[in-house]
Structure 1
Amino acid sequence: MRVKRRKHAKKILSFYHNAFRLREPYQVLVDGTFTQAALQTKINIKEQLPKYLDGSVLLVTTRCILAEAKEIGSRLHGALLILERYQCRKCGHQRGDKLVPAAECIKSLVGLNNEHHYIIASQDQELKGGLRQISGVPLLHITHNAIMLENPTPLSRQKAEETLALKTAPSSHEKETLDKLAKLLPKERGRIASGRIQKRKIARGPNPLSVKKKKAIVAEGMKLTKKKTRRRKRKTNDLSKT
């Protein structure tokens, strides 16, 4: 089961890497709800998250998230102690006493396109519902005593397809070159525009292996004759005559 979960996470991270340039170390923005769920299920975030994502991880939080955990009190005391160990990102809300709720702070850090490539770790369903309306935001949650990375949203997949189409489209210089070639070769215009330029067939001779060898022609009237051998007769002395 663990192998399947890791393969699932690796596939999703590969999607975000190719489509939205998500790279290591993965910046995981953690809130109080996630750390509280980790305590209840006895999950060590710092140890298990790098194994699950199969890469280096940088755990971060904000002053707004810490302040919200303090306000809740003893119920999140353990989660607060864990959050205080993480790096604190500047969110711009800590001027004076004007701190905002954790969900609002996280949304402001993500922005319109998640340019800092945050992975959001939260159990807040309302917060995650709002983040699903932004493309390129990976979401982590804890379910069945395990950390899970959510599948990319349809909006993220649509954005990835648009990005891929822009990458594969010809540049302005390439378009100009194709237009020039189309003017120089009007007969080939249709094939150049469609990208299907076929090579012209050149007439060639027959295959020498398939051609039969010519038989030697024997001139008429010429016949092979065998030499006649003459046998010499031995002269025998006629005894009767003597």
Structure 2
Amino acid sequence: MRLKKQKRHRKSVRFYTACFGFREPFKVLCDGTFVHHLLVNRITSANDSLSNLLGAPAKLFTTRCVLGELKSLGESYGESLQAARNLATARCDHEKRRSAVGCITGVIGENNPEHFFVATQDTDLRNKFQEVVSGSENEFKEIEIPGVPVIFGLRNSLFLEPPSAIQRQYVKSTEEERLHMTESEYKMLQKREINKLANQEASNSTDAHEGLGNQTVMAQPKINAARKTMGVMDEVQFKRKKAKGPNPLSCKKKKSHGSPSLLPNLVCKDGDDASKKRNRKRKSRKSIKLSEADS
């Protein structure tokens, strides 16, 4: 039974996430009756129990009007008042204190923009989010507050109400409306078609004023286009590789590493050839002293 209940709850959570845009972590708006039920039945770890119920982390909220209502009930609800003060407070712009039902409906608004789960034990508040306002039977926009999941407690366990048949029909009607075009989109398409026709008429008028020479010139690209469609190619798609010459750097002459004399053969003044060795041995001091001693 526990597995069936979890599957049912996961299915309803997926419905609200897919159709109404609920995202993790889920926000749960609690009233005084739900907080008092948790304390009476000793469900102390409210965050863990709600996260297990929804299959994702949850954050609990309350309002100032709910706190004021609990405070007005007296000492019997003192513990529930302290527990409610530990929760995060949702913003409610009410100058005067309202009842919990009126405050929660005001916070949720018409479309539930904050995507709140409502946790309550009040049957009137539970039915309020699924009732239909007076209107035509075929229109499902007369739902007062669509897309508000309700959580309630039964002894030591918590339950999530499945989406009603009216909510499912509302989702189907909105999906069908999205498939059809709106009036603004239909007008935009009409303007585009009118502009296309005007451009085609202008292009046809310019082509009619051109001469026959231009017609012959314009015939060639049409033929090329036809050939491309048939898969015929006029030119070769690739070029064949030709034999290239040798690398010019490899043909360069090698430089000689020796130190040959670069000067040309010149004739000296005394008639001696200039091809004699220029690099003569330098006389050392010892050789000079020996030659002086011999003399």
Alpha-carbon displacement from aligned partner over 1:22-81 (angstroms, at most 9, x marks no partner): 111111000110011111222131221111111121111000000100110122212111
Deviation for aligned residue 1:154: 2.4
How far apart are the structure 2 equivalents of 1:112 and 1:59?
Answer: 21
How far apart are the structure 2 equivalents of 1:52 and 1:2?
Answer: 11
Residues 1-242 of structure 1: pairs in structure 2 closer than 5 A: 1-43=1-43, 44-93=45-94, 95=95, 98-133=96-131, 134-169=145-180, 172=185
- TM (norm. structure 1) is 0.66
SS at match of 2:23: coil
C-alpha contact (below 8 Å) 2:47/2:59 kept by paired residues = no
- TM (norm. structure 2) is 0.55
How far apart are the structure 2 equivalents of 1:82 and 1:50?
Answer: 18
Letter in structure 1 aligned against 2:102? E
SS at match of 2:22: coil
Q: Percent identity?
A: 32
Alpha-carbon displacement from aligned partner over 1:91-129 (angstroms, at most 9, x marks no partner): 011x4xx11111110011111221221110000111122
Runs of at least 5 residues in structure 2 that lack an aligned partner in the other structure: 132-144, 194-295
RMSD: 2.1
Alpha-carbon displacement from aligned partner over 1:163-206 (angstroms, at most 9, x marks no partner): 22234446858x969xx9xxxxxxxxxxxxxxxxxxxxxxxxxx
Cα gap change, 1:155/1:113 in structure 2, threshold over 3 Å: closer, same or farther?
Answer: farther
How far apart are the structure 1 equivalents of 2:158 and 2:83?
Answer: 17
C-alpha contact (below 8 Å) 2:60/2:87 kept by paired residues = yes
SS at match of 1:70: helix
The answer for the alignment partner of 2:255 in structure 1 is: none
How far apart are the structure 1 equivalents of 2:2 and 2:83?
Answer: 25
SS at match of 2:111: coil
How far apart are the structure 2 equivalents of 1:162 and 1:117?
Answer: 21
Deviation for aligned residue 1:144: 3.9
Aligned residues: 174
SS at match of 1:148: strand
Higher relative contact order (CA 8 A, sep 6+): 1
How far apart are the structure 2 equivalents of 1:53 and 1:103?
Answer: 23
How far apart are the structure 2 equivalents of 1:145 and 1:159?
Answer: 33
SS at match of 1:58: strand
How far apart are the structure 1 equivalents of 2:170 and 2:114?
Answer: 17
